[in-house]
Amino acid sequence: MYVRVWKRALDLVLALFAFPFWLGILAILGPMIYLEDRGPVFYNSYRLGRNGRVFKMYKFRSMKVGAPDIRNEDGSTYSGEDDGRLTRIGKAIRKASLDETPQLINIIKGDMSVIGPRPDLPEDIECYRGDQKTRLRLKPGVTGFSQANFRNTIPANEKYDNDVYYVRNVSFRMDCVLFFKTAKIVIGREKVFSLHAKDYN
């Protein structure tokens, strides 16, 4: 009952409550992102959704226009603290996790949930092993089990296993715990960058 009904209802309540505040963030950050290099304000990326359905995910652009896609050895997206691809404003909004806030639109549209497995690129499905496709049974989340507990400090395969654990044990109580853990880690700006990432300056 929680997953089928109440989880979506709570997502909508939280997203619609936060949306007016996000419009204020957009009004401030939008011009700053654009004026730094005259590039687009948003970065839109196609991601895997529930049951493998591909959708367009929204983020504030934090990298320079035309920045290359760089991956760690485990196939995860590189996220080093001294990443030379980041713009000045991009580095600041990445540290504050403000780059993820446009995903409120995805929640309202029904593509994403507040809490869930983080959405992967469509080609990443080829990296899943064993029962890791189980993570696709739920809508992806703006935050999730790995993000709340480890953020970017563990390899991709461990994140996939954590997502499988979440999908099999999801509950209102677990979502509340992960929500407040995420708030703590974001406010404290903890574990923002990958500890196992190489330097790609």
Q: Which residue has the higher pLDDT, 131 or 155?
A: 131
In order, the DSSP letters of 54-95 are: EEEEEEE--B-TT----B-TTSPBP--TT-TTB-HHHHHHHH
In order, the DSSP letters of 42-53 are: EEEEEEE-GGG-
- For 65-106, the pLDDT digits (tens) are 988 877 767 666 666 667 788 999 999 998 888 999 999 999
- For 102-130, the pLDDT digits (tens) are 999 999 999 999 999 999 999 999 989 99
pLDDT above 50: residue 151: yes
pLDDT above 60: residue 16: yes
CA angle (46, 59, 150) in 5-degree steps? 90
Mean pLDDT computed over 18-38: 96
State both tokens at 7: 């989880």
